[in-house]
Each structure stands twice: as C-alpha cells, then as structure tokens.
C-alpha cells in the first residue's frame, strides 16, 4: 500500500513475518554483500516485505539486461512483478536520485530503454523523507 513503511508492513504481517526491519546500515555484512550498495540491500528488504504482505507478486535483482543500441546495455536493479504479468523495472538511487539526474549517460540509457520497451514502466526509486519509506519517479519516454 502506498505510504506504508517497512514497520507498518511488518506489523501488518504479524506472526507471519520472520525477517528483520533493520535499516540497511544495520544489516549483516552477508545480507549487504548480495547487492551493490546498502541502499539496494534496503530496497530488496522492502520489496520482500511487500511480497510477503501480498502487495507485489515477486521481485528479482539484476536478472535482466536490455540490449539498447551499438553495444550499449542497461541492467535495471530490480525487476518487479506488481501483479501476475505486470512487470516494472526499478533503478535504485540514493539521495533522491540526484546522481541519476545529473549523469547524462543514465538519462540517455533510460530514454532509449523507455522508447524501446514502453510496456515496462521504468522507475527511479530512492529513500523517502521518513525512515523506512521509499519514493519514486516514473520515467516515461521524453522525461529526461
């Protein structure tokens, strides 16, 4: 549900929940090492909570690489199945995605990907203003 924190989801799950609601910097090194950053590890944890709560069907980390043009490739951080058959591509960034918007190569890749694969919504996801929350910007063709 929109606006739910990880703690809200954990409370909602009650005794069904067996994971942790620790922030990324408190995760065990083994949990962090599966991902390229603490922010990605925290978002993976968030997606798993949403999956267990039934808000999304499934998620996978770096399982798809899109061939764009002239040997350029783009691998989204997460492929999220929101409902059976509905796929979204999520790119996780820290600090409200500032580095994403300031790097022209990132914007170009997203622009090309949105043009070539318009049936998969592309989202830039970043930590929200409140701990345990996530915000996103939906990227459409021509957003850059």
**What's the CATH code of the domain at 115?**
3.40.1350
Q: For residue 81, what pLDDT is reported?
A: 94
Residue 1 lies in a domain: no
Q: For residue 18, what pLDDT is reported?
A: 37
How many Å apart are CA 96 and CA 49, to the nearest integer? 22
Residue 60 lies in a domain: yes
Domain that holds residue 34: 6-139
Q: How confident is the model at residue 124 (pLDDT cuts 50, 70, 90)?
A: confident
Q: What is the pLDDT of residues 59-106, one digit of tens each?
A: 999 999 999 888 888 899 999 999 888 899 999 988 765 666 667 777
Q: What is the pLDDT of residues 96-108, one digit of tens each?
A: 656 666 677 777 7
Cα angle 139, 87, 10; round to 5? 95
Encoding tokens for residue 30?
A: 């083994």
Q: For residue 15, what pLDDT is reported?
A: 37
Residue 17 lies in a domain: yes
């Amino acid at each position: 549900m929109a606006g739910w924190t990880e703690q809200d989801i954990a409370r909602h799950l009650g005794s069904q929940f067996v994971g942790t609601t620790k922030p990324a910097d408190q995760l065990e090194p083994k949990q962090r090492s599966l991902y390229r950053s603490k922010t990605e590890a925290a978002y993976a944890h968030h997606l798993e909570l949403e999956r267990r709560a039934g808000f999304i069907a499934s998620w996978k980390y770096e399982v798809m690489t899109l061939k764009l043009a002239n040997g350029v490739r783009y691998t989204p951080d997460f492929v999220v199945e929101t409902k059976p058959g509905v796929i979204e591509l999520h790119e996780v960034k820290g600090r409200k995605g500032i580095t994403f918007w300031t790097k022209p190569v990132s914007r170009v890749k997203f622009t090309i990907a949105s043009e070539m694969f318009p049936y998969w919504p592309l989202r830039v996801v970043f930590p929200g203003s409140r701990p345990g929350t996530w915000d996103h910007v939906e990227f459409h063709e021509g957003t850059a």
